[in-house]
Amino acid sequence: MNIAKKISWISLATLIVSSVFANSQDIPSYSDPCPSKKIDECDECYEISMGKPYKQGYEICEDVLPIAYNAPANIDICRGVDTYVSASFIYWQKLSDQLDLGRSRITSDDPQRYKAIKFSTEYEPGFKVGLGFHFNHDNWQMFAQYTRLHALEKTTYKPSTVDQGNFVSSWYITRPGTISFDDISSDGVRARWKMNLDKIDLELSRPLYVGTHLITTTFAGASNHWMYQSYDFLLEENTLSQHIFIKNDSWAIGPRLGIDTKWILYKRFSFFLVGSLSLMFAENDVSGSGNEDATGFELDKIQKLILRDVEELQIGFAWNSYFTNDKWYMNISLAYEAQRYSNTNYMSYYSQINEDDSKQVKPADTFLHGLTFTARFDF
């Protein structure tokens, strides 16, 4: 009997508590007729941002989209102008063949020693600036970029004052022959290489997902560059100046194809790899002047028309994020970059054809490599 009473009281208490709780949920708060919202929820872009099945440019889940569909991965800005800008600081070293000063021979040693006098280069600063647009049609985008790297490199060779020997260079036109170490002035043998590169790239692309954490962008477009080079070689033999100055003006234009691959890692960090290839029609104009053995001369302009291939590679890490409910976007990256421009150095052409028995060699290529720091903003 006591057990039955206890069960009845427990059931009655449970019913009363449930009824009171339900009634409290149904009664509106007349003191606050309009429920308060968070500040972000008052923003129109907040609802748009929260309603997206996935954020373009971020990783996605496997069940968000059909596996066979290459979903767009371009950056999607809310109520923006679908435009982005980029700026890069580059710190590159430029390299080339057929720039060495000459050869020295030490005759005071037994056996005699021969040494190639190499031309050395340093890392130099430059920059890139870019402007891009997103199109509504099928999520395509267009990007234009300008690259500038202007630098002057110098190398000086001073023969040993202890050793006996001579120096000879292939840069000479009138062939003054070997020059004794004792006859070279204290300033030594001096060479200066100036190389100015101005480059414009235009590309059309469509970023797309090929995996939950993998985005690829195949792009096609055109490339145009201007490359000015000059080589200034000077030494004083006793009081006689041996000097030659040669310049190579070049421009090139042609199609450019490439692919940009991005692996999304963790917390908006990603690893990327970009490669491109250009096949370009190029013109090279070579001319110069000099004074050797008190004989002045002029080198008439020679024009060489060629096909030039340009290869480019970028590999690095990036961090990216949307801000203020997808109203703008930022990407910061640091990459190692390498580029090769074929058949750019015709400055030794005259010296190669100076003698009847001389043989022409393939023009040297220009190589660029170093670090690239880039910041991109979409709005």
Task: Tell me if 12 is assigned to some domain.
Answer: no
Q: Are 159 and 188 in contact (CB under 8 A)?
A: yes
Task: Tell me if 18 is assigned to some domain.
Answer: no
Task: Tell me if 166 is assigned to some domain.
Answer: yes
pLDDT band (50, 70, 90) for residue 55? confident
Q: Taking 80 as the threshold, does the pLDDT of residue 177 lie above it?
A: no
Q: What one-character-per-residue DSSP string does 86-132 give? A: EEEEEEEEEEESS---EEEEE-SSSS-EEEEE-----EEEEEEEEEE
pLDDT tens readout for residues 101-112: 999 998 888 888
Calculated CA dihedral for residues 188, 191, 192, 193, nearest 10 degrees: -160
pLDDT on residue 109: 80
Closest CA to 276 of 212, 318, 220, 214: 220
* Mean of all residue pLDDT scores within the chain: 86
What amino acid occupies position 152?
L
Tell me the mean pLDDT in the region 145-173.
91
pLDDT on residue 70: 79
User: 63 Cβ partners below 8 Å, 6+ apart?
Assistant: none
Q: CATH number for the domain including 165?
A: 2.40.128.90
pLDDT on residue 30: 38
Query: Could you tell me the two tokens for 198?
Result: 């101005």
Cα distance between residue 237 and residue 263, in whole Å: 60
User: 312 Cβ partners below 8 Å, 6+ apart?
Assistant: 258, 274, 275, 276, 277, 278, 337, 338, 339
Tell me the mean pLDDT in the region 213-224.
96
**Which residues of the chain form beta strands (DSSP E)?**
83-96, 102-106, 113-117, 123-134, 141-157, 165-168, 179-180, 189-211, 214-237, 240-266, 269-292, 295-323, 328-345, 364-378
pLDDT on residue 131: 98
pLDDT band (50, 70, 90) for residue 176? low
Cα distance between residue 84 and residue 379, in whole Å: 6
Task: Tell me if 25 is assigned to some domain.
Answer: no
Tell me the mean pLDDT in the region 59-80.
76
Cα distance between residue 223 and residue 256, in whole Å: 6
Cα distance between residue 343 and residue 10, in whole Å: 95
What amino acid occupies position 337?
E
Task: Tell me if 157 is assigned to some domain.
Answer: yes
Task: Tell me if 41 is assigned to some domain.
Answer: no
Number of structural domains the chain divides into: 1
More confident residue, 48 or 281: 281
Neighbours of 97 (CB within 10 A): 16
Please give the residue range of the domain that contains residue 211: 58-378
Q: Taking 50 as the threshold, does the pLDDT of residue 25 lie above it?
A: no
Calculated CA dihedral for residues 250, 252, 257, 258, nearest 10 degrees: 20
Task: Tell me if 49 is assigned to some domain.
Answer: no
pLDDT on residue 306: 96
Polymer length of the chain: 379
pLDDT on residue 17: 43
Tell me the mean pLDDT in the region 283-287.
96
% pLDDT > 90, the chain: 58
pLDDT tens readout for residues 361-375: 889 999 999 999 999
Query: In Å, how far are 213, 216, 218, 256, 322 from 275, measured between CA atoms?
Result: 20, 12, 10, 11, 26
Q: What pTM was estimated for this model as a whole?
A: 0.80
Task: Tell me if 124 is assigned to some domain.
Answer: yes
Q: Taking 70 as the threshold, does the pLDDT of residue 179 lie above it?
A: yes
**Which residues make beta-bridge pairs with 154?**
192
